[in-house]
Amino acid sequence: MDFQNSLAFAKELDANDPLARYRDEFLYPQVNGKDVIYFTGNSLGLQPKRTKKYVDDVMKDWHELAVEGHFYAEKPWWDYHERLATDLAKVVGAKEKEISVMNTLTVNLHLLMVSFYRPEGKRIKILCEEKAFPSDQYMLQSQARFHGLDPNEVLVEVKKRKGEHFWRTEDILDKINEVGEELALVLMGGVNYYNGQVLDMKTITKAGKEVGAFVGWDLAHGVGNIALELHDWDVDFAAWCSYKYMNSGPGNASGIYVHEHYLGKKDIPRFEGWWGTKKETRFLMQPEFDPIETADAWQLSNPPILSIAPYLASLELFDEVGMEALIDKQKRIVAYLEFILGEIDKQVESTFEIITPKDRGCQLSVFLHGEGRSLFDYLMKNGVITDWREPNVIRLAPAPFYCSYTDMYNFGQILKEGILNK
């Protein structure tokens, strides 16, 4: 499609956008009396309007039913989390029984590593990307030390090539084959938080498993953003947070996926608690753990209902729209943003370098050569919420649920003013 950098053109795209009406499902911060242009859905998604009712319902049930709410609330609390698994399974391409919702992301990755990182003999190594998200680095280092190993010997980082801003699949595969029999686990971010790159998870998973390693994915930036087929890709495990593209609220509950191959097993190492044992016998308070035949076996505690209620509200929206329609709009809106950046680039002296490769989801990371943090401050003051990373990289993530084509056009104009008026 031939794009135009004009308000009329952007408005026409909005008029033809089947998801345009979902903008009204969300609440926007205001700057100068106007809704902001929100590019940080990759960090904290906006609040869906319907979320409040879900939380209010739980508060009301707690008031009116108290302990009876576990069984007699309209959505009983004792299996409330299972409602989330149904919709999440569609979002990540898994079977319902392969999904659970619990804890938070880093906690869950640690718990999953109890099962899937079992260093033995010379098979001790973990493959990850260089400069992985800091929490993941701390997690991997501390896991190595927990097993009495030296993180420097355990962690194998795949580097980008000199002068390039992205990872090449062939370099990842070469590294997997090079480490070979010493590789215990591949654990990487499926969508990189910094450059927005989507890794070829299917190919990498296959290669990792072929050398006998377990393969897991941190999908913090992947879930609700890109097409995932975790089950068909034969991924062993994955975890994600729900507050980025999933719009479930700050620090909210994490989701996990465990391949059905590992379900219903008593002999897999795992940290266990009463919410992972079979429902039928749970309240008999027996001493022996009998794992539920779903990923809930990894669940330790009874879930915080007030926290997962917003997640359910958000998942309802995902279910209504479907990932296919979201991804369809995402591709268009990101392409339009890329076009706008190109047009503005021609009109100013600084140069924009998009460091996100073509394998991408919602995010464009842009190196603003010749600019500084003051540009970021200008954007914020003028109602454009972005994320700034040293050196001079802004991350722009126009989430298809609540960003419009007009937002992209207006952003271009504000960006141009910010650069020309400095």
Ligand X SMILES: *Cc1c(COP(=O)(O)O)cnc(C)c1O
Q: CA 194, CA 337: separation in Å to the nearest integer?
A: 18
Residues 240-279 that bind ligand X (CB under 6 A): 241
SS3 (DSSP) at 283: coil
Paired residues of 156 in beta bridges: 127
Contact, 48 vs 247, CB < 8 A? yes
Structure tokens at 72: 């007699």
Contact, 99 vs 92, CB < 8 A? yes
Q: CA 225, CA 201: separation in Å to the nearest integer?
A: 14
Q: Which is nearer to ligand X, 54 or 193 (CB)?
A: 193
DSSP 260-321: GGGTT-SSS-----GGGB-HHHHTTT-SS--B-SSGGGG--S---HHHHHHHHHHHHHHHHH
Q: Which is nearer to ligand X, 221 or 329 (CB)?
A: 221
Residue window 132-171: x/- pattern of binding to ligand X, with contact defined by CB under 6 A: -x-xx-----------------------------------
Q: Which is nearer to ligand X, 10 or 241 (CB)?
A: 241
Q: Which is nearer to ligand X, 184 or 188 (CB)?
A: 188
On whether 218 is known to bind a ligand per the annotation, the reply is yes
189 in contact with ligand X (CB under 6 A) = yes
Contact, 234 vs 206, CB < 8 A? yes
On whether 240 is known to bind a ligand per the annotation, the reply is no
SS3 (DSSP) at 35: strand
On whether 134 is known to bind a ligand per the annotation, the reply is yes
On whether 221 is known to bind a ligand per the annotation, the reply is yes
**Candidate segments 113-121, 128-136, 349-357, 363-371, binder of ligand X by CB under 6 A:** 128-136
With CB under 6 A as the contact rule, the residue among 5, 47, 100, 106 that binds ligand X is: 106
User: Positive or negative, the Cα torsion across 241, 246, 248, 249?
Assistant: positive
On whether 243 is known to bind a ligand per the annotation, the reply is yes
Instruction: Return the DSSP state at 215.
Output: E
Contact, 90 vs 223, CB < 8 A? no
Q: Which is nearer to ligand X, 75 or 131 (CB)?
A: 131
With CB under 6 A as the contact rule, the residue among 111, 179, 220, 253 that binds ligand X is: 220
SS3 (DSSP) at 354: strand
Q: Least separation, in Å, of the C-beta of 221 and ligand X?
A: 5
193 in contact with ligand X (CB under 6 A) = yes
On whether 302 is known to bind a ligand per the annotation, the reply is yes
On whether 136 is known to bind a ligand per the annotation, the reply is yes
Residue window 226-245: x/- pattern of binding to ligand X, with contact defined by CB under 6 A: ---------------x----
Q: CA 85, CA 77: separation in Å to the nearest integer?
A: 14
221 in contact with ligand X (CB under 6 A) = yes
Structure tokens at 380: 């914020």
Number of residues forming the site for ligand X (CB under 6 A): 12
217 in contact with ligand X (CB under 6 A) = no
Q: Which is nearer to ligand X, 48 or 189 (CB)?
A: 189
Q: What is the largest CA-CA distance in the chain?
A: 72
**Candidate segments 131-139, 159-167, 174-182, 353-361, binder of ligand X by CB under 6 A:** 131-139
On whether 259 is known to bind a ligand per the annotation, the reply is no
If one counts every other C-beta atom within 10 angstroms of the C-beta of residue 150, the result is 11
Q: Which is nearer to ligand X, 105 or 396 (CB)?
A: 105
Q: CA 123, CA 190: separation in Å to the nearest integer?
A: 23
On whether 328 is known to bind a ligand per the annotation, the reply is no
105 in contact with ligand X (CB under 6 A) = yes
Q: CA 92, CA 223: separation in Å to the nearest integer?
A: 7
Q: Which is nearer to ligand X, 135 or 169 (CB)?
A: 135
Q: Least separation, in Å, of the C-beta of 289 and ligand X?
A: 26
Q: CA 39, CA 407: separation in Å to the nearest integer?
A: 10
If one counts every other C-beta atom within 10 angstroms of the C-beta of residue 404, the result is 21
Annotated binding-site residue numbers for pyridoxal 5'-phosphate = 105-106, 133-136, 218, 221, 243, 274, 302
> Which stretches of the chain bind ligand X, using CB under 6 A?
104-106, 133, 135-136, 189, 193, 218, 220-221, 241
